[in-house]
Amino acid sequence: MSTNPKAPSLVSILVTYNIYFMLAALAIISTLLSEHFLTLQNLFNLLRQLAPLALVSIGMLLVILTGGIDLSVGSVAAIGGMGVAMAMPALPFDGATALFVCIFGAVLFGALLGAINGVLVAGFGMASFVATLAMMTMARGLAYMLSNGQPVRFPRDLPTAQILTGFGSKGVPGIGLPWPVLAVLVIIALFIFLLRRTNWGRLTVATGSNEDAVRLAGLPAWRYKFLAFTLCGALSALAGIFVTARTAVGTPVTGIGLELDAIAACVIGGALLSGGRGTVTNTMIGVLILGLIGNIMNLMSVPAYPQQIIKGVIIILAVLMQGIGARTKRRV
Amino acid sequence: MDRLDMRQISKEFGGIAALSGAGFSARAGEVHALMGENGAGKSTLMKILAGAYTHDGGEIRIGGEPVSISNPQDAIRKGISIIYQEFSLASDLTVAENILIETLGHGLFVDRRAMDARATELLTRMGFDDIDPGEIAGGLTIARQQVVEICKALSRDCSILVLDEPTAVLTTHETEKLFDLVRRLRDQGVCIVYISHRLDEIFSLCDRVTVLKDGATVGTWETAALDHKSLVNLMIGRELKDFFPERHGTPGEVALEVEALAAGTLVSDISFSVRRGEVLGIGGLVGAGRTEVLRAIFGADPLSHGEIRIDGKRHVIRSPGNAVRAGIGLVPEDRKQQGCLLHMPILNNAMLTPVNPHLGFLGLIREARERGATEALRSRLNLKAASIDAEAGTLSGGNQQKVAIMKWLVSGCEVLLLDEPTRGVDVGAKVEIYRVINELAANGAAVVMVSSEMLELIGMCDRVIVMRAGRLAGELSGAQLTEEGIIELAMGRKHVH
């Protein structure tokens, strides 16, 4: 109150844009730690690895915006990745059309699993934590059953498979930007547009903000929740396909713990778990922060187990800073 | 000597005085009635006594000693028990466990036999030895649950017992049994504070009555010295203030017709109609079913029977979405929980409707059009906000109410249902909301307004229908539309004589 409101203090700038500063700080630390970090090759590899998490995080954000949570994303991703790996050699025809059919089918199946979550939560009023926990174990069980617990390999020389693995390992000619990263960028742009520029996006956020008010305005709140779960399922299956494309194998253990990383990305990005607040852009910053943390620790040769502890600490720090941010804003 | 003495109690909520100079004194072995309109301060005063609120000023004495009650435990230790309309029984525990719930925490083991014996003793003392202490409390009738509540209070040696509208949920026969119980307690020396809207109960049960109005005590009288009419006059006795803005224009065609509407377990056989340009009030006590009627018309609760016509055309309304498309809008009672998106900008609140004419192809947001429309509404409703991007939660209560109304102006609704539109807003904001309501009516909307403030109903409405216990008690207009008239219909005095 005492300072000119048009000249925000340094503290308030730091607090408001804390995740951008955090990302910048992590990038600087990485650069100092290793001369290899700031090479195009390393950055592209990092982004390629983060592509599936980015997709799942967008889906998770949609669900979180409506006030729900989806624990089944990792299992659905496993089914999506395996489904494509199993379907490609089984199809009677080859090539781009076959790949399209496989991807379309797998994504559709993911959407179906998400829709089941949606019906349980939006239709039957089940707590999303419980409904998606059940879906998480069911989908994982299905993945193990389909593959007998073994990785699903496919002939490398199959034309369909060559297109898929090419997508997963190569980049845009000339620039070198990996194809999966380009695809994720397009999807990010699409969802930024949908959430900011369409009535559907606005009402999805409103449903999480105050479901009663939305319903009493005469709007079908259940439909926004249902759609969020359905889209989350579709995006999760797509994420699994991206994993298969990169690793050239479909495994039933894909995406174990992925739901936690996706929730962490949303939360670091400032999404409220109670719904109604969060943006795609900030969630993607959250994904990058998680990715950089892992990258730094790999560069420093921190063993895997301590990495988990450090990751947890950083999540807590990020959320604490947002809490301070919210309090400062309220005081102004 | 007075058992309980509350003196000059004052209490503010966010700068608005709920109580200023309220109080009364009651003796041991007396049934003392506390009366007043909705919002007169009875509940606040009793919550202070129960330790649910702390008072800002004044003094509470028990047995002549000044006491401080800063939490519910204090109140229980001082021998105060309050039986609210909603019971606090653990419905899965037995009667005995409920009655002696406080002793359950002591010791490692529960001596069931001793508990049952003690519970039986208390129940017998109350004349209800036919209640089995081993029975599950949730399976008892409401009346018997109430008895268990009272026994629970007695188990901790309560000397001051407050009953808040205890007969609201009871049948006539059950009421008689309750009165016997109350008289029995009175004869045992308990000081009983009795809150009820039913005048005949006051006269048949209570020794003295204290009347509260606008957060202050009007006075205390022997019930023998009063009759129905003088008591009603004491409760309302004030002049119609002149802050209701004039409305111009005459009512037009009938816009909304409701016929033989029934909903839930409470509301039945409600019929009325509203014309364009008309404001129809719905009066009655809290719990008479007024909100339920609005919600049923709007499709928020299922309609079990009845017909709704808009402009003479029958509409089947199964959801709020149906209602909005039929041209009905509802501004709910609970502004913060149901009326507004508090954490969203005013613009998003205004566009929160399935009938948004500003959307483009496939639901694309056309921001310039929406901003223009919202700005126009902002000046039309005289909304005080820094900008239309301000979050609704940052606005004052009156301005939040205007935000809640905005979406119905966007959707162009023709029938507007308002549930307690001025609850919890200060006087200045009330006048602003009245102005908005008049403006809507003058533009041809049919307005239905539920209000617990009789002045508001009289000042704002062309006609008022009054509900009692889920049914229509009568309709008032013109010279009949007075506070006495509404109170008599709401409390059913007309049916007593």
Return the domain boundaries, chain B. Answer: 2-236, 254-496
User: Could B353 and A220 be called an inter-chain contact, meaning their C-beta atoms sit closer than 8 Å?
Assistant: no
- Candidate from A200, A206, A220 with C-beta closest to B341: A206
Tens digit of each residue's pLDDT (9 = 90 or more) over A148-167: 999 999 988 899 999 999 99
At A193, phi and psi to the nearest 5? -65, -50
| Distance (Å, whole) CA B34 – CA B209 | 6
Residue with tokens 């790996």: A85
| Distance (Å, whole) CA A37 – CA B215 | 71
- Candidate from A206, A210, A218 with C-beta closest to B320: A218
Question: Could you tell me which residue, B443 or B156, shows the higher pLDDT?
Answer: B443
Q: Are B484 and B316 in contact (CB under 8 A)?
A: no
Q: Check whether A7 has a pLDDT greater than 80.
A: no
Which residue is closest to B300 within chain A, CA to CA? Answer: A216
| Distance (Å, whole) CA B178 – CA B158 | 18
Please check whether the domain covering B254-496 is classified as CATH 3.40.1710.10: no
DSSP A123: I
Exposure string over B37-73, b if 16+ CB within 10 A, otherwise e = bbbbbbbbbbbbbbbbbebeebebebbeeeeebeeee
User: Could B354 and A198 be called an inter-chain contact, meaning their C-beta atoms sit closer than 8 Å?
Assistant: no
DSSP A170: -
Angle at B93 between CA B90 and CA B94, to 5 degrees: 125
Q: Are B112 and B120 in contact (CB under 8 A)?
A: no
Q: Which two tokens stand for residue A185?
A: 């960028």
The number of C-alpha atoms within 13 Å of A87 and in the hemisphere containing its C-beta is 22
Would you list the domain boundaries of chain A? 40-256
Q: Check whether B298 has a pLDDT greater than 50.
A: yes
| 3-state helix/strand/coil string of chain B | CEEEEEEEEEEEECCEEEEEEEEEEEECCCEEEEECCCCCCHHHHHHHHCCCCCCCEEEEEECCEEECCCCHHHHHHCCEEEECCCCCCCCCCEHHHHHCHHHHHCCCCCCHHHHHHHHHHHHHHCCCCCCCCCCEHHHCCHHHHHHHHHHHHHHCCCCEEEEECCCCCCCHHHHHHHHHHHHHHHHCCCEEEEECCCHHHHHHHCCEEEEEECCEEEEEEEHHHCCHHHHHHHHHCCCCCCCCCCCCCCCCCEEEEEEEEEECCCEEEEEEEEECCCEEEEEECCCCCHHHHHHHHHCCCCCCEEEEEECCEEECCCCHHHHHHCCEEEECCCHHHHHCCCCCEHHHHHCCCCCCCCCCHHHECCHHHHHHHHHHHHHHCCCCCCCCCCEHHHCCHHHHHHHHHHHHHHCCCCEEEEECCCCCCCHHHHHHHHHHHHHHHHCCCEEEEECCCHHHHHHHCCEEEEEECCEEEEEEEHHHCCHHHHHHHHHCHHHHC
At B480, phi and psi to the nearest 5? -75, -15
Strand partners, B280: B448, B463
At B111, phi and psi to the nearest 5? -90, 90
The number of C-alpha atoms within 13 Å of A80 and in the hemisphere containing its C-beta is 33
Confidence grade of residue B428 (pLDDT, cut at 50, 70, 90): low
- Counting one residue from chain A and one from chain B, the pairs whose CB atoms sit within 8 A come to 78
Confidence grade of residue A261 (pLDDT, cut at 50, 70, 90): very high
Q: How many other C-beta atoms can be found within 10 angstroms of the C-beta atom of residue B180?
A: 12
From chain B, pick out residues whose CB is under 8 angstroms from the CB of A219: 320-321, 352-354
Report the pLDDT value the prediction gives residue A325, as an integer from 0 to 100. Answer: 58
Tens digit of each residue's pLDDT (9 = 90 or more) over A198-231: 999 999 999 999 999 999 999 999 999 999 999 9
| Distance (Å, whole) CA B304 – CA B250 | 34
Residue with tokens 């930024």: A192
Beta strands B65-67; B80-83: pairing state: unpaired
- Candidate from B338, B355, B364 with C-beta closest to A212: B338
Confidence grade of residue B426 (pLDDT, cut at 50, 70, 90): low
Chain A closest CA to B337's CA: distance in Å? 7
Q: Check whether A134 has a pLDDT greater than 50.
A: yes
Confidence grade of residue A1 (pLDDT, cut at 50, 70, 90): very low
**Class of B2-236 per CATH?**
alpha beta
Helix (H, G, I), strand (E, B) or coil at A152: strand
Report the pLDDT value the prediction gives residue B243, as an integer from 0 to 100. Answer: 62
Q: Check whether A2 has a pLDDT greater than 50.
A: no
Q: Check whether A125 has a pLDDT greater than 90.
A: yes
Domains B2-236 and B254-496 fall in the same CATH topology: yes
Confidence grade of residue A5 (pLDDT, cut at 50, 70, 90): very low
CA B471 to chain centre: 17
Best of A193, A196, A209, A216 to disrupt the B interface (most B CBs within 10 Å) is: A216
Per the prediction, chain B carries an average pLDDT of: 88
How far CA A197 is from CA of A280, B372, B477, in Å, comes to 13, 17, 50
Which residue is closest to B350 within chain A, CA to CA? Answer: A217
Q: How many residues does chain B have?
A: 497
Which residue is closest to A208 within chain B, CA to CA? Answer: B341
User: Could B352 and A199 be called an inter-chain contact, meaning their C-beta atoms sit closer than 8 Å?
Assistant: no
Q: Check whether B25 has a pLDDT greater than 70.
A: yes
**CA-CA-CA-CA torsion sign (A22, A26, A27, A29):** positive
Report the pLDDT value the prediction gives residue B427, as an integer from 0 to 100. Answer: 61
Report the pLDDT value the prediction gives residue B493, as an integer from 0 to 100. Answer: 62
Tens digit of each residue's pLDDT (9 = 90 or more) over B357-393: 999 988 999 999 999 999 999 999 989 888 999 999 8
Q: Which two tokens stand for residue B53?
A: 């609120």
Report the pLDDT value the prediction gives residue A75, as an integer from 0 to 100. Answer: 98
Beta strands B415-419; B328-331: pairing state: parallel
Overall average pLDDT of the B220-242 stretch: 75
Report the pLDDT value the prediction gives residue A228, as an integer from 0 to 100. Answer: 98
Q: Check whether B438 has a pLDDT greater than 50.
A: yes
Helix (H, G, I), strand (E, B) or coil at A114: helix
Q: Check whether A6 has a pLDDT greater than 60.
A: no
